[in-house]
Amino acid sequence: MVGVSDPTGDETVVDATPEQVLAVAEQMVDLPWPADGSDDDLPWVLDGLEGTSLWLAHVLPLAARAEPAQVRALLDPLVALADRRWAVRHRFDATAHTDDARTMADPSAYDRRSAPAGMVRSLGASTAPWWRCAGHAVLLVDGGDRAALLVLPVEWMGRPGAAEAALATPLGRDLVSGDRARVLTAVWEVIRTRDPAVLGPLVPALPAIREVADDADLGGALISNRTHLAHALLRVRLHGEGACLCLAYPDHQLYDVVKEVDRGHVTVVGTVPNPRQWEDDRICACTGCGRRYQVEQGDYHYPWWAWTPRDGGASGEPDEVG
Ligand SMILES: [Zn+2]
């Protein structure tokens, strides 16, 4: 196996035929993505080639610290083979889409293409050929002395659309404002609601929100405010997947049973004594899907609630009542 991040600092070019590289590209479309809110990159190996999945794109390094002629000798046959394999070659101009102070101040000016454009420029290129493959875009980036193949959802290469429209809504504007108070107000609005009219428009904007939010300084004392933001984005994603929002409960400690009952999201159908706590555990049934959760309430610096799904709860079998 030959990678390109050779620690000796010697020049490196991937040791694979164009056919092997494109075969890996076609498998890269199925790679998992890093979890929401995670800063961790996911390393992977496909057919002996090493790469990494970042939040935006799966990256297969092809060359590093190489002679430009060497890089071109590697990429030219790859481009020719990609043309035969995927037919239509597009050209991505990474200088035409930028995210700057103007788009930060006015989210409706955001162009999602600025994200892949920034990645292409960071590799030292200003344009890149790309092809469509299984709902994804495959980009070949020639950075002179280095090269990489990027695979990302094809939506990132499209004209401004649903994502930009979502960012133009009041909630979308707040989430990408970079202003701590505005971001957190919007975060808690998302955490409190199950309203499709609120959550729906945010779904296409998720990647853009995540990109901007990653840079925001949100602070937080006992629980990082970034945790709350990541949880809000999880709720938006669950909504986008058509899942019931009660599935978010186990991920977050601040779902107060009384408030969730007031919001009409759950009903309390029983209690179970809990010798560790002042409060009995409550058995809650989701009003949306019927799933049942046992909720332990505790207090350590702040009140918390731990929601645990009960097996078979959705089937309506009786719970023991304390
Ligand atoms: Zn539910």
Distance from residue 2's CA to the centre of ligand 1 (Å)? 48
* pTM metric for this prediction: 0.55
For residue 193, how far is its CA from the centre of ligand 1 (angstroms)? 13
* Contact yes or no for 274/294 (Cβ under 8 A): no
237 alpha carbon to ligand 1 midpoint, in Å? 15
Structure tokens at 10: 């010697």
Mind listing the pLDDT tens digit of every residue in the chain (322 residues)? 344 444 455 668 999 999 999 999 999 999 998 886 667 899 999 999 999 999 889 999 999 999 999 999 999 999 999 999 998 898 999 988 876 666 666 666 677 788 899 999 999 999 999 999 988 999 999 999 999 999 998 878 877 666 677 777 888 888 888 788 999 999 999 999 999 989 988 888 887 788 776 666 777 766 788 889 999 999 999 998 899 999 999 999 999 999 999 999 999 999 999 999 989 999 999 999 999 999 999 988 889 999 999 975 444 444 444 3
Tokens of 98: 């930028």
Buried b (16+ CB within 10 A) or exposed e, 88-97: eeeebebeeb
Residues with Cβ < 8 Å from 183, sequence gap 6 or more? 174, 175, 177, 213, 216, 218, 225, 229
Q: Which residues surround ligand 1, an ion (CB under 5 A)?
A: 244, 246, 286, 288-289, 291
**Strand, helix or coil for residue 153:** strand
β-bridge partners, 137: 132, 152
Ligand 1 center to residue 142 CA distance, Å? 48
Contact 70, 63 (CB under 8 A): yes
> Ligand 1 mean position to 65 CA, how many Å?
53
What phi and psi, each to the nearest 5 degrees, are found at residue 161? -155, -125
Which helix or strand (DSSP H or E) is residue 78 part of? helix 68-86
